Amino acid sequence: MKLKRLNAQCQVPLEVAYKGQALGMGYRMDMLVEDKVVIELKTVEKINDLHLARTLTYLKLSDRKLALILNFSVNYMKNGIRRVVNHR
């Protein structure tokens, strides 16, 4: 069985615009996989509302639908994954 290699980009800049005026590169997404899924990497005690809001902002600015926040500061990785959806 041959495994498919995924396309992943790291530290992807997001340009911020207001009323059609470019304001520059305001944010950087940790990872973008297959030009579809935003991945945010964290090592925090708990994923909070600020982490969710920032990730949702990345989704809206990049016009994408799905993100995963991966928190590596947990005993079991399955407990450190949070799915975030942009309902546009």
Q: pLDDT: is 24 or 49 the higher one?
A: 49
Q: Tell me if 3 is assigned to some domain.
A: no
Task: Give the range of the structural domain holding residue 17, as residue numbers without chain letter.
Answer: 8-85
Read off the pLDDT of each residue in 61-75 and give the average, rounded to a whole number: 94
The answer to whether the CB of 29 falls within 8 A of the CB of 40 is: yes
Kindly list the strands in the beta sheet with 8-18, ordered across the sheet, starting from the edge strand earlier in the chain.
8-18, 21-33, 37-42, 66-71, 81-85
Q: Tell me if 48 is assigned to some domain.
A: yes
The answer to whether the CB of 58 falls within 8 A of the CB of 49 is: no
Q: What span, in angstroms and rounded, lies between the C-alpha atoms of 75 and 73?
A: 7
Q: pLDDT: is 78 or 25 the higher one?
A: 78
Q: Tell me if 2 is assigned to some domain.
A: no
Q: What span, in angstroms and rounded, lies between the C-alpha atoms of 7 and 13?
A: 16
Residues in the chain: 88
Q: Tell me if 1 is assigned to some domain.
A: no
Query: Is pLDDT above 90 for 1?
Result: no
Q: Tell me if 77 is assigned to some domain.
A: yes
Q: What is the chain's mean pLDDT, rounded?
A: 91
Total structural domains in the chain? 1
